[in-house]
Amino acid sequence: MLDDALVHVENLRFDYGGKPVLQGINMRIPRGKVVAIMGGSGCGKTTLLRCIGGQLRPTGGKIVVDGQTVSTMNQSGIYAMRRRMGMLFQFGALFTDMSVFENVAFPLREHTDLPESLIRDLVLMKLQAVGLRGARDLMPNSLSGGMARRVALARAVALDPSLIMYDEPFTGLDPISLGVIGQLIRRLNDALGATSIMVTHDVQESLLIVDYIFFISEGKVVAEGTPDEIRHSSDPFVHQFVHAEADGPVPFHIKATPIMDDLFGGRHA
């Protein structure tokens, strides 16, 4: 499954101010698949997305997207590469002073020279795909959280990208909206023939729609597999994460001195 890779990450390292965040990430993202990247907060998932998109330059290693090495591109090369990418940010990140229509039209106007008549048709088609053509004239502050995320999804696929990246697409959604967004991600990926990378904490919803999963801990890939392999994994980290257990390889308690020493200064019997 992982032979035909659109994205190849090799020994990727990244530091923030000398503090290591990614410490040798290796992964291959196959064409046409939906791949999830999971792990605890602060493990480097979003940083990895930013490196793939060229927003951050890695400290070491390399990322190859569709045959091009991202870290060696100049600014114009990265800009051209992003023309073939879509991004759904946490909470949607819609432009608050633009209508739904104008939000979805933005990447088409930014990256193409298409006439307004064709942009109009394309925007309406994308909004139809997410069920919101009737909301085209609304402003973002009039939308529910689920609706805003669907508009952001329409914007992310406006250019029919070959690679779509999702940063926590399910955060803050009610169960109905969460299910709708999950199925839209799967359906739009397959309809476009795209490749999707999804950073998420939502294990159960992700297992229903993704083809492959990578688990990251302390800046490294610690486990990977198909949904069935993950469900039946005996790996302690995977088991703890999938079953939301408080203690395991990721400890509940941060290392500290014995509580009785803290409370009584070692004076207890």
pLDDT, one tens digit per residue, over 158-192 is 999 999 999 888 887 788 888 888 888 898 899 88
**Considering the domain boundaries, does residue 93 fall inside one?**
no
What is the pTM (predicted TM-score) of this model? 0.82
**76 or 92, which is more confident:** 76
**Considering the domain boundaries, does residue 190 fall inside one?**
no
pLDDT of residue 269: 53
**Considering the domain boundaries, does residue 39 fall inside one?**
yes
**Considering the domain boundaries, does residue 200 fall inside one?**
yes
Distance CA 6, CA 32 (A): 9
Distance CA 255, CA 68 (A): 43
**Considering the domain boundaries, does residue 248 fall inside one?**
yes
**Considering the domain boundaries, does residue 144 fall inside one?**
no
**4 or 252, which is more confident:** 4
- Indicate if the pLDDT at residue 85 is higher than 80: yes
* For residues 110-118, average pLDDT: 90
Residues 6 or more apart in contact with residue 70 via CB below 8 angstroms: 51, 52, 54, 62, 63, 64, 78, 81
- Indicate if the pLDDT at residue 16 is higher than 90: no
**53 or 91, which is more confident:** 53
| CATH code of 8's domain | 3.40.50.300
pLDDT of residue 250: 59
Distance CA 265, CA 269 (A): 11
Q: In total, how many domains does the chain have?
A: 1
For the record, the structure tokens of 171 come out as 């955060």
Domain of 26, in residue numbers: 1-84+165-170+196-269
CB 70 within 8 A of CB 78: yes
**Considering the domain boundaries, does residue 38 fall inside one?**
yes
pLDDT of residue 7: 92
Residues 6 or more apart in contact with residue 13 via CB below 8 angstroms: 20, 22, 23, 24, 25, 58, 59, 60, 61
pLDDT of residue 2: 44
Residues 6 or more apart in contact with residue 245 via CB below 8 angstroms: 239
List residues bridging with 30 in a β-sheet: 5
Chain mean pLDDT for the chain: 84
Strand order across the beta sheet in which 68-69 lies: 19-30, 5-16, 60-65, 68-69
For 195-252, what is each residue's pLDDT tens digit?
999 998 888 888 889 999 998 888 888 888 898 888 887 777 776 777 665 555 555 5
**Considering the domain boundaries, does residue 114 fall inside one?**
no
